[in-house]
Amino acid sequence: MDFLNELFEPAWLSTNFIKAEKAVKALTNQEHIAEAAIKSLDHRIRYIATKKLIDSKLLVNIARNDKDHGVRVAAIKNENLTDQEVLADIAINAHWHNREQNESALNKITDTKWLAYVIAKGSIKFNEYKLKEAGERLTNQSELIDIAKYDKDDSVRRVAARYLIDQDALEYIAKNDNDSSVRILAIRKLKNQDILNNIAKNDRETDVRCAAVASVTDQSVLEDVVKNDEDANIRYIAFSKITNESVLNNQDILFYIARNISWKWFSDYGLFFEGDEVAIRFMEKLTNQYQLVDIAKNSSFPEVRKSAISRLIEQSDFADIAKNDSDKGVRIAAIKRLNNQDIIIDIAKTDEDDEVRATAVKKIINQKALVDIALNPQYPRACLIAGKKLEEKSTIKQFYELVLSNSNFNPPNTDMWEPYHLREIKRMACLTLYGKHDWISQTREKQVYGGTQFYTTGIIEYKRCTRCYETDGISETDFRLHT
C-alpha cells in the first residue's frame, strides 16, 4: 500500500529534497503550485512554490499564517501581493522578532495613505533611519494635503504635515487642525509672517503659540509677546530673540520670567535652555526685595528658591520659608540665614525632616531646648548634634546612655553617620560610662576590589566592643567593607 501511495503522490511531496525541489520547480499549473505551497511539509519546498504563486489571496494567507519565517517573507516579496492595506497590516503587526517581514512589507507600500499610516504607527517596529527612508517616498503633495486635512487619525495627519510643502495647505492646518501637535508641525514650516504673528499673539494653545513665536521675526510682535503673554516660558522664547535694550533690562519682564518659568528642559524649535538656570540668571538682575521674596517663596524650582534666599534681607521672610517650604534643601538654606532663637528651636522640634532639624540645632544656644532634643532619639541626627552641645554632666550621661542603648543609632559604621560623628560619640559614651571597652574576638574575610568584584584574600582577626562598636586590629576600610 505504501508503494502505491508513493507511486501516485506528487513528486514534490517526496522526502528526497533534491527530487522534491526538481519537481516543484518544474510545476506550471497554478493549482498544483498552490497545493505545494500549502501542503508540503518541507518549508524549502513551500518557499520555492510560494515564489511562483500568482494568487494574491493565497499569498496573503501564506504571508500571515505560514509557520516558517522565510516562507512568509517570500509571500510578502512576491510581486503579485499588492494589497496595500494588507502590506500595511503586516508591516505594523507581524511579530517583531521577524523584522524582515515588517521591512519587506514596508518596502512594497506605495500608497501615500497607507505609507503615512505605517510611519505613524511603526515607531516600535522600525528604527528612525528606516522610517525616515520611508518618509522620503511621501512625495505626492495632493494626496498628502488630503490626508493632512481630513484623515481621522491624529498621528497620520502629523506624518502628512511633516512632509507637506504646500504653503496654502500648511496655513489651513496651522489655523484649523484640532490637534495641537499637527498644527505645530505646520507652523514650523510656515513662511507667512502675518499668520505666524497672529498665532503667536492670540492662539489659545500654549505649545502652538510657542511654535509660532519661535518663527516670528517682527520685533514689535516679539515685544508684545514678552510683555503680555500669560506663559513665562513663551515670554522667554520671545525675549531670547529681542534686540531692544530697554526691553532686555525691564525689571518687570525679568521678574515675571524668573518667577514663573516652569519648563525644566526645552530643546524644540531650535532653542536650548534649562528653566532653573534661566530663572537664576534673570533673578540676579533684580533689585526689588518684594520681587525677590516672591521668587524665593513661589518659584517652581527649589534651586531658584535657594538662590533667591541668598538675596533676601528680612528675618520674617527667612522664618516663613524655613517653616513652610516643601523642599528640605530650601528650608535648610533659610534656616542658615535665620537668627531668631525661638523660631529656630521650634523648627528643631517640629520639622518633619531629621536633617532640617539637625541644621536648626547647630544654631541653638538654649541649653533647655538642647536637652529636650538630645534626649529624643526619634530624630537621631538632631539628637547627636544637640548632645555634643550639652554642658550639664548628668544630662550628658543620660545622652550617652541613650546613644549606646537605642537602636536608632546602630550600626555606627555607615556613611550616613559620618557628618554627625556617631562613632566618636559612642566611643566616648562607652569610656565615660564604663571606663573601658567590652572586647570580644571577631574574624572577617579580608577582601580587595578587583575591578569588577570583591575577592577574598585571607582572614582578619580583630576585637570589637559590644557596646560602642569600637574596633582594634582592623582598619576602618576593612571594618566597613560589606557592613
User: Given a cut of 50, is residue 3 above it in pLDDT?
Assistant: no
With H, G, I as helix, E, B as strand and everything else as coil, classify residue 441.
Answer: strand
pLDDT tens digits, 148-167: 999 999 999 999 999 999 99
d(C-alpha 429, C-alpha 437), whole Å: 10
- Alpha-carbon distance of 385 to 370, in angstroms, equals 9
CA atoms of 233 and 207, how far apart (whole Å): 10
User: What gap in Å lies between CA 430 and CA 467, rounded to an integer?
Assistant: 7
Angle between helix axes 315-324 and 341-350 (nearest 10 degrees) is 0
CA atoms within 13 Å, Cβ hemisphere of 217: 5
Contact call for residues 237 and 261 (beta carbons, < 8 A) = no
Distance separating alpha carbons of residues 436 and 329, to the nearest angstrom: 41
Average pLDDT over residues 136-148: 95
The answer to whether the bond into 411 is cis (omega within 30° of 0) is: yes
Mean pLDDT computed over 189-204? 96
Comparing C-alpha atoms, which of 228, 236, 227 is closest to residue 275?
236
Query: What's the mean pLDDT when you consider all of the chain?
Result: 90
Residue 266 has pLDDT above 70, yes or no: no
Question: Please, are residues 177 and 183 in contact by the beta-carbon 8 Å criterion?
Answer: yes
In the prediction, which pLDDT does 5 show? Answer: 47
DSSP for residue 474: S
The residue-averaged pLDDT of 368-373 equals: 96
Q: What share of the chain is helix, strand, coil (3-state, %, to 5)?
A: 65, 5, 30
- How many C-beta atoms surround the C-beta of residue 307 within 10 A? 22
CA 292/CA 427 separation, integer angstroms: 47
User: 181-204 burial by CB neighbour count: b if 16+ within 10 A, else e?
Assistant: bbbbbbbbbbeeeebbbebbbebe
Mean pLDDT of 166-192: 95
Rounded CA-CA distance 311/361 in Å is: 24
C-alpha cell at 175: 489655523
Q: Is the pLDDT of residue 387 over 90?
A: yes
Q: What does the CA dihedral 235, 239, 242, 245 come to, rounded to 10 degrees?
A: 120
8-state DSSP, 270: G
Q: What is the pLDDT of residues 84-131, one digit of tens each?
A: 999 999 999 887 567 889 999 999 999 999 999 999 998 888 888 899
> What's the CA dihedral at 280, 283, 284, 290 to 10 degrees?
-140
Map residue 336 onto helix, strand or coil.
helix
Interatomic CA distance for residues 193 and 352, integer angstroms: 55
11 DSSP assignment: G
Among candidate residues 108, 164, 170, the one with its CA nearest the CA of residue 140? 164
Contact 192, 183 (CB under 8 A): no
Q: Cell match 499668520: residue?
A: 195
Residue 226 pLDDT greater than 90, yes or no: yes
For residue 69 the three cell numbers come to 519565517
CA–CA distance, 295 with 289 (Å, rounded to integer): 10
Give CA–CA dist 308/294, Å, rounded. 9
Residues pairing with 472 in the sheet? 463
Q: Give me the pLDDT at residue 481, please.
A: 47
C-alpha 178/C-alpha 163 separation (Å) is 19
Nearest in space to 426 (alpha carbons), one of 412, 440, 444? 412
pLDDT at 417 over 80: no
Total-model pTM: 0.71
pLDDT number for residue 4: 43
pLDDT at position 466 is: 87
